[in-house]
Amino acid sequence: MKQAYGKKKLVEVVPLSIATIEQLERNGDFPKRFYITDRRAAWNADEVEAWLDERQANGPKTLQTFIPPSPKKRGRPPKHAPA
């Protein structure tokens, strides 16, 4: 019997967000989903496991990009105390 992952289980198995998975899927870089019902999508567990194995074998060995910390604080400035 084949095993399938729903979205909740897929996010537990693959450490990526659903948005990232959907983008990879649109680009052809992730296994395609299939529909069990009109609204329920699933992914073949064997294909997902094979994708993870391939990424582990052929993925980058080190982090390619470095994002330096922001030099200033973002967001609303704090209120000043009355004088």
Q: In the chain, what are the domain boundaries?
A: 4-58
Whether the pLDDT of residue 81 is over 70: the answer is: no
**Using an 8 Å Cβ cutoff, are 47 and 25 in contact?**
no
Please compute the mean of the pLDDT values over residues 2-29 and round it to a whole number.
95
Closest to 50 in 3D by CA, of 21, 25, 30: 30
Nearest to 5 by CA among 32, 41, 37, 38: 41
Judged against a pLDDT cut of 90, whether residue 35 lies above it is answered with: yes
C-alpha count within 13 angstroms, C-beta hemisphere, residue 18: 10
**Which runs of E-coded beta strand occur in 1-83?**
4-5, 34-35, 41-44
- Mean pLDDT (whole number) for 55-78: 78
Instruction: Write down the pTM of the prediction.
Output: 0.70
